Every structure is written in structure tokens, then in C-alpha cells.
Amino acid sequence: MATFQRARSEEQREIRQRAILDTAAAMLDEMPVSAVSLNELSRRVGLAKSNVLRYFESREAILLELLDHNWRQWTAGLPEQLDAAITPDAPVFQRGRAFAAVLTRSLAQNRVLCDLLSAQAGVLEHNVSADVAARYKRSALDNVAALAALARRHLPELGDRADQLCAQAVMVTGAVWTHARPSAAMLAAYEADPSLAALRMDFTATLEEMLTTLIVGTLAQAEG
């Protein structure tokens, strides 16, 4: 646990902010978003909770910052994977299915991003000021635009529909992640009565199927 004196310069302030973000990121490697508390974060970073709040206005503001960072990292790793998986002159629907498969595979390997996306609208966008909310949404729009640019590169047939498709793909990811992780009580109910598990989701299989359907449907609309 580090200990800090009060920051007295902009450089020191940036060091404190970085330490807080790095500590929160390390916690997310150990636990789900729901278990990350401001008290434990403060203890680990070596600052009083009131001092942490000097640098970030809330736990949710910290996690939104990490969501943006993880999202950008994920997008940055996609071009190489997409180039390797998609044959440029393949039929459009084949390229669409391959695009869905790459997104799914990369997301399945990024637990922290999926967990943050699943908490975005229902948790992380609450308990923040309008300024923080607006700053995050601007970054989210940029992140969707970057993903849409990759979609148009491999699926130029999408045209102007690529941005809407990619925004929907991100929302679907968060929803599937949530439903693919049932509570302990639900798992116990499934074990007691296996028929109740008929709608239980496997994250990878379900997400790939849903993204494929979304992409193929959007391509069909674009053709129409």
C-alpha cells in the first residue's frame, strides 16, 4: 500500500490520479465491478477516502475512466485479428460472420471490459456529474466510431449503418455478459431443477450468434 502527501503541483496530481486508476485496475483483475468499493480502493492506494474524492468525484467516475481505457485497448488490438480472419474477396455474409466471430473471441478474452460494459448504463453512469457523464459519452462515441471504421473496412456494404451496428454490438455484449453469469441462488435452482436452465446462456456461443444475426440483418437492410 502506497502513502501519499497532498499533491501540490499538477504533476503530483497526475501521479495520484494514475495511482488511483492503476489500483482500481488491479482490483478489477481480482474481483467483479460490483465488489470494487471506494473504501478498499482508498486503503490499497494509501489515501483517505476523502482524498481519493479530491481526484475523482466517485467510484463510478473512476470505473468509467477505466472502461474508456479498456475499450480503447480492445479496439487497438482488433485490426490484426480481423485482417487474419477475414478474406477481402469473400462473400459479404461470410465476412460478416467472420467479423462477429473475431469480436466474440476477443471479448471473451477480456473479462474486465465485458464486466465494465455490463455495468455501464445501470451502475457506472449513475452517481456522476453531468460533466463526467458528458466526457465519458464523448469518449464512447469516439470508441464506437473507431469500431465502425473497422467494420466499414471489412464490410463496406454497411455504409452509414456501421456506427449504429457497432453501438448495438457493444450494448448486446454487456447484456449477454450479465445473463451468462447467473447468481449463486439461480445456479442452485438450476441444479435442483435442470429444466429451469433451458434459457441459460453460454457467453461465447450466445454472443457470437447474436452478433452474427445483428450483422447479417444490418447487411440485409443495407442491401434493401
| Cα–Cα nearest to 79, from 102, 53, 56, 112 | 102
Task: Provide the residue ranges of all domains of the chain, joining segments of one domain with +.
Answer: 1-56, 58-223
Predicted TM-score (pTM) of the model is 0.91
Tell whether the model's pLDDT for residue 23 goes beyond 50.
yes
- Rounded average pLDDT over 186-192: 94
Q: Domain 1-56 belongs to what architecture?
A: Orthogonal Bundle (1.10)
Instruction: Give the three cell numbers for residue 78.
Output: 482488433
Tens of pLDDT, residues 133-161: 999 999 999 999 999 999 999 999 999 99
**Do 1-56 and 58-223 agree at the fold level?**
no
Answer with the residue of higher pLDDT: 198 or 81. Answer: 81
Res 8: pLDDT: 62
CATH of domain 58-223: 1.10.357.10
Q: How high does pLDDT run on average in the chain?
A: 94
Res 1: pLDDT: 47
Tell whether the model's pLDDT for residue 78 goes beyond 90.
yes
Res 151: pLDDT: 98
